[in-house]
Chains A and B, each alone.
Chain A
Amino acid sequence: KAGVTQTPRYLIKTRGQQVTLSCSPISGHRSVSWYQQTPGQGLQFLFEYFSETQRNKGNFPGRFSGRQFSNSRSEMNVSTLELGDSALYLCASSFFQGNSPLHFGNGTRLTVT
C-alpha cells in the first residue's frame, strides 16, 4: 500500500512569491491535514480537510490556504512568501474517525530567500 506522497520534496522560492504544495493521501483516507515544522516552533497544525471542506484551522495568517479535491488529494498554498515561511511542510492522512492514526508523508522542504 503506497504511503502519503508529497511533491515536490524540495523547493526554493523568493520572498514575495507564492507556492503550491501537493499531497496524495493513502488510498481510502479521506481526511488530510497539514503541518508546518520549524526548529523554533516545532510541529504546528495548519488545517484539516475532509470531503473537500476545511474542518479545522490552526493559528496561521490568511496567506496560508488549502483545498481538497474529490479524490481526496490536497494542495496547500502560501502567498506572498516571507523568510519565516521557510520550513518543512508535512501532510498527513487518516480515516475520519476518533482514534485513527495519522500517516505522515516525508514533507516538502521550503526555503524562502
Chain B
Amino acid sequence: DAKTTQPNSMESNEEEPVHLPCNHSTISGTDYIHWYRQLPSQGPEYVIHGLTSNVNNRMASLAIAEDRKSSTLILHRATLRDAAVYYCILRDGVNAGGTSYGKLTFGQGTILTVHP
C-alpha cells in the first residue's frame, strides 16, 4: 500500500481554520485520498475523500495538489469537538474490488489539539 506522511501533532485555536497536511509522493493513478478521524474513546469516523479535484462536504474540505503528491484537509472553523487523531489514507478505488474494500492501512496520524 502506498504510504502517507503526516505531522505527529498540530494545534489550533477554537473558531480558527485548520489545515492538516499529508504527503503521498508514491500515490498511484487509481489511489483515492481518504481522511478519517478518531475522537477519544471512539472508533474512527470517515471525514472525506477525493481523487483529483478539491472536495467539500459538511465536515471539511479536501484540497489536492495538482501532481497529487500531497493534500490538505481543511477544517474551516475548528471546535473543541474537532480535537482528534486525523488519518490520511490512500485507497485503491479501482482495484480494491479484486482484494478487499474493507482494508485500510492506517499510519500514526496527526493529533489535533484545539484550544478554547
Interface residues of A (CB under 8 A from B): 4, 31-33, 42-45, 48, 50, 55-56, 58, 90, 92, 94-107
Contacts and interface: CB of A to CB of B under 8 A. Distances in A.
Nearest to B43: A104
Contacts of B101: 31, 48, 50, 55, 94-98, 100
Contacts of B100: 33, 48, 55-56
Given A98-B93, A98-B101, A99-B32, A42 B42 contact: no
B102 to A, nearest CB: 3
Interface of B: 32, 34, 36, 41-46, 49, 87, 91, 93-94, 96-97, 99-109
Contacts of B97: 97-98
Given A43-B106, A45-B105, A99-B93, A56 B99 contact: yes
A28 to B, nearest CB: 14
Contacts of A32: 102
Given A32-B102, A42-B107, A55-B99, A98 B94 contact: yes
Give the interface centre of B42, B96, B101, B104 by most chain A CB atoms within 10 Å: B101
Contacts of A103: 46
A106 B106 contact: no
A97 to B, nearest CB: 7
A99 B106 contact: no
A99 B49 contact: yes
A104 B45 contact: yes
Given A48-B103, A92-B44, 19 more contacts: A4-B43, A31-B102, A32-B102, A33-B102, A42-B106, A42-B108, A45-B104, A48-B101, A48-B102, A55-B101, A56-B103, A97-B101, A98-B97, A99-B91, A101-B49, A102-B102, A102-B104, A104-B44, A106-B42
A50 B32 CA distance: 22
Give the interface centre of B34, B45, B94, B106 by most chain A CB atoms within 10 Å: B106
A45 B103 contact: yes
A45 B107 CA distance: 12
